[in-house]
Amino acid sequence: MQNDIIRTEPPTGYHSACGADPDEGSSPGPKVRTSTVTFMVLLTALAATSFYNYLLFHTIVELVAVGIAIAVFTIAWNAWEMRENSYLIVIGTGLLCVAGIGLIHTLAYKGMGIFVGYDANLPTQLWIASRYLLAGTLLAAPLLIEKNLKPWKVLAGFVGATAALLLSIFVFPVFPDCFIEGSGLTTFKVVSEYVISVLFVLGAVAFYRVRTTFSSRVSRYLIAAILVLIPSELAFTLYISVYGIENMVGHLLMVLSYGLFYIAFVEFGIRQPCAVIFTDLARSERQLRRERDRFRQYLDISGALFVALDPAGRIALINRRASEILGCPADKAVGESWFERFIPARERERLYALFHGLVQGDIESGGFVRSPVLTADGDERIIEWNNTVIRDADGTISGTLSSGKDITEQQRAEETLSMANAKLNLLSAITRHDILNQITIARAYIDFSMEDSEVPGIRDNLGRARTAVGEIQRQIEFTRDYQNMGVKKPIWQRPENLIRASVTELTLPAGTRARVDLADLEIYADPMVKKVFYNIIDNAARHGEKVTEIRFSSTRSGQDLVIVCEDDGIGIPDEEKEAIFRPAYKRRHGHGLFLVAEILGITGISIRETGVFGEGARFEIRVPNGGWRDAAVPDSHHS
């Protein structure tokens, strides 16, 4: 987990790098509002100018459009090396070429007197040509957004299209007439305006499908700009005179549309480049914020406690569950020293040493630690934490993240149960001690009676009684062993050492030897696991009849470890291979193998007999993945 994830606020550099946050719902900045007001004033002034001198009005309108188109192209062309999609360069270049035709249209307008020999049809033809080029640009740009287009090729393509349109009007007069003096607009011109309007609609739909490429606010301005062009074109289907009111309305709407293009591309392009130029970066930052918010939501609905600390031990993040347990709102907890504020004084030194070891890399992550925490009311809760470190992009430890579970009631129940078990164990130990004392006395009296009696029948009965008392003694001793299972926490132990110690204690019969080949293997098992190997060896020596060798080795089965014990005795009949691990199996032999299975089962280890009867016994002890390791190989826990 990167350190950025645990921040409680967006990165401080965001606004300085990308301008104001362009997300949905944010209000326009003061500069954008100023531009909007400026354009509204300009439209009003232009409308007034049209009543004073329409030619002046038309010239200013067209020059405003040309100026905005050049500004958009300048932004697009100079940002092409930093662009992350082709939309901007296509729009910018297209608007530049539209502006070029628009400038000629302005110079050719009726009354300008520059193009001698032409009537009002020429500027109208130029107008329709520029509108077709603009509509094609707005439709093509979103369709080519994912293409890696070269700017020079885009410029060459638009210049070629512009030249072809101009040639069809001036050199090869094949462009249809659009205005006839005395009659007004031609059918081609009116139909073209409708076709162009449809193309604008398609362009708006195409852009809407890729709107997430830009910030939501920029997308709204662009869609509005395209949609305003539609009534502008429709207005141009109604006029009869090129100086008519409908023509004026169409031009005012065109200025409004270009004004929206100016705000979307120039204002945002300069002041908020992430919204227009570095669009992928802006989208990534918006996605990062959404992921951060989703991450916080996951943490808040989780039943676990989550606390992230910076290297100084201050709280960098805390989820809702943790703040509820502590009785402290998250916004007030962030920035507080965890150890000074929420850890009891008696535990601070120990837990801070643990934290310091994690941050310094001296202690491995992932360990479980139980510790008390102080609530706002001064109460203590017991939390079981799983601690891990947080690293930055360079791999440097930059803090810790701890997930915890409130086990206060569980620990209290465990303490109560432990106390009850301690009392029961004490009672059991006292009772067992008293019974064994009485058994010793009973056996002594039986032995005295057998020495004093010469009657065969009585001696036989006393012998049977002595055997029964001996069986009772073994049963009582078994309860002692069984009671001790699971009392202490499992630990890592080396089977080879346990086996050699058991062999020494048993003192095998002459001619019987044990061979161990388990090297540095260790298993995580109950401390009584030594009795497992003791009983297996004892069982082989006493019941194998002809055993001369007992061999211990290991093998792998997938990710599990299998410890194998083999002997060369008579083995176990097939029908008894499972029964030997039952508590009632041949009670005269005690509970050796039943006890073995029970001790191993505490930590998920299993045992089975797989030998061939007549060739010797073979016990397989399977240690699951995570429950064994090779002490000679670092980090070989297999978990």
Q: Which two tokens stand for residue 179?
A: 């205005």
Q: What is the pLDDT of residue 621?
A: 94
Number of domains in the chain: 4
| CB 55, CB 102: distance < 8 Å | no
Q: What is the pLDDT of residue 8?
A: 40
Q: What is the pLDDT of residue 377?
A: 87
Distance CA(255)–CA(42), nearest Å, equals 9
Q: What is the pLDDT of residue 425?
A: 63
Mean pLDDT of 236-249: 70
Kindly state whether residues 184 and 63 are assigned to the same domain.
yes
Question: Which DSSP helix (H) or strand (E) runs through 499?
Answer: helix 495-506
Kindly state whether residues 151 and 273 are assigned to the same domain.
yes
341 part of a folded domain: yes
288 part of a folded domain: no
Q: What is the pLDDT of residue 429?
A: 66
Confidence band, pLDDT 50/70/90 cuts, at residue 277: very low
Mean pLDDT of 177-194: 87
Kindly state whether residues 56 and 174 are assigned to the same domain.
yes
Distance CA(597)–CA(621), nearest Å, equals 10
> For the segment 116-144, what is each residue's pLDDT rounded down to a tens digit?
888 889 988 999 999 999 999 999 999 99
Kindly state whether residues 267 and 328 are assigned to the same domain.
no
Mean pLDDT of 282-303: 63
Q: What is the pLDDT of residue 20?
A: 42
pLDDT: which is higher, 108 or 368: 108
364 part of a folded domain: yes
Domain end, chosen from 450, 484, 518, is at 484
372 closest CA partner among 432, 435, 326, 433: 326
Domain end, chosen from 424, 457, 484, is at 484
pLDDT: which is higher, 418 or 317: 317
Confidence band, pLDDT 50/70/90 cuts, at residue 635: low
> For the segment 379-432, what is each residue's pLDDT rounded down to a tens digit?
889 888 888 888 887 888 888 888 888 888 887 887 777 676 666 666 666 776
Give 43-46 contacts, CB < 8 A, sequence gap 24+.
43/252, 43/255, 43/256, 46/251, 46/252, 46/255
Q: Is the pLDDT of residue 293 over 70?
A: no
Residues paired with residue 397 on neighbouring β-strands, in sequence order: 391
Q: What is the pLDDT of residue 446?
A: 81
Whole-prediction pTM: 0.45
> For the segment 436-472, what is each residue's pLDDT rounded down to a tens digit?
778 888 878 787 787 777 777 787 787 788 777 777 7
Q: Is the pLDDT of residue 23 over 50?
A: no
What is residue 587's DSSP assignment? Answer: G
Q: What is the pLDDT of residue 255?
A: 86
> For the segment 529-565, what is each residue's pLDDT rounded down to a tens digit?
888 898 899 888 888 888 899 999 999 999 999 999 9
Mean pLDDT of 325-345: 90
Report the 10 Å Cβ neighbour count for 563: 23
511 burial level (CB within 10 Å; 0-12, 13-18, 19+): exposed
Parallel, antiparallel, or unpaired for β 397-406 and 380-391?
Answer: antiparallel
- DSSP codes joined into one string, 395-463: S-EEEEEEEEEE-HHHHHHHHHHHHHHHHHHHHHHHHHHHHHHHHHHHHHHHHHHHHH---HHHHHHHH
> For the segment 492-528, what is each residue's pLDDT rounded down to a tens digit?
999 999 999 888 888 788 888 889 999 889 999 888 8
CA 582 from centre of chain = 48
257 part of a folded domain: yes
Kindly state whether residues 512 and 463 are assigned to the same domain.
no
Q: Which two tokens stand for residue 4?
A: 């950025």
612 part of a folded domain: yes
Q: What is the pLDDT of residue 302?
A: 63
Kindly state whether residues 121 and 157 are assigned to the same domain.
yes
Q: Which two tokens stand for residue 442?
A: 């009973």
Q: What is the CATH number of the domain that holds 273?
A: 1.20.1070
Distance CA(218)–CA(223), nearest Å, equals 9
243 part of a folded domain: yes
17 part of a folded domain: no
Kindly state whether residues 219 and 359 are assigned to the same domain.
no
Kindly state whether residues 395 and 497 are assigned to the same domain.
no
Kindly state whether residues 44 and 162 are assigned to the same domain.
yes
Q: Which two tokens stand for residue 10?
A: 């967006």
226 part of a folded domain: yes
Q: What is the C-alpha radius of gyration for the chain, rounded to an integer number of angstroms?
A: 45
Kindly state whether residues 260 and 311 are assigned to the same domain.
no
Kindly state whether residues 335 and 478 are assigned to the same domain.
no
- Structural domain harbouring 335: 302-406
Distance CA(112)–CA(130), nearest Å, equals 19
Distance CA(66)–CA(107), nearest Å, equals 12
Domain end, chosen from 387, 406, 425, is at 406
Q: What is the CATH number of the domain that holds 503?
A: 3.30.565.10
Q: What is the pLDDT of residue 129?
A: 95
Kindly state whether residues 93 and 162 are assigned to the same domain.
yes
Q: Which of 39-48, 70-79, 469-478 has the highest mean pLDDT?
A: 70-79
Q: In angstroms, how far apart are the furthest CA atoms of the chain?
A: 158
pLDDT: which is higher, 287 or 416: 416
Mean pLDDT of 76-99: 81
Q: What is the pLDDT of residue 474?
A: 66
Q: What is the pLDDT of residue 155?
A: 93
Parallel, antiparallel, or unpaired for β 513-516 and 549-557?
Answer: parallel
What are the residue ranges of helices labelled H in 22-150? 30-52, 54-78, 87-107, 121-143
